[in-house]
Amino acid sequence: MLRRLADKKRKMVSIVDPHIKVDPDYRVHNELRARGFYVKTKDGSDYEGWCWPGSTAYPDFTNPEMREWWASMFAYDQYEVRRPPPGSL
């Protein structure tokens, strides 16, 4: 895909929104919470805000362990394949 874009004199920019949907069915959220890697409030609980996916928590990028874990999540074997339900396309 990148070659085809380059052939058309186009460039691709990837972005990663550093907020995580608070959802007990979301593996990334569960791992961040279990490891204590979210930004905390004054009372020590995970800070939650609101963004396009709804209730959202924010990884604590000031924590070197969290940054190392976050970087590991970009390995090819970490990507989940989600297929659309039959007949939805």
Per the structure block, which two tokens stand in for 19? 């907020």
Tokens of 25: 């069915």
pLDDT at 45: 97
CA distances from 52 to 19, 28, 30, 68, 89 (A): 10, 17, 19, 26, 23
Residue 5, pLDDT above cutoff 80: yes
Say if residues 38 and 31 touch (Cβ distance below 8 Å).
no
Q: What percent of the chain has pLDDT over 70?
A: 92
Give 44's contacts (C-beta < 8 A, 6+ positions apart). none
pTM of the model: 0.71
In this structure, what are the phi and psi dihedrals at residue 51, rounded to the nearest 5 degrees? Answer: -145, -175
Kindly state the average pLDDT of the residues 67-81. Answer: 83
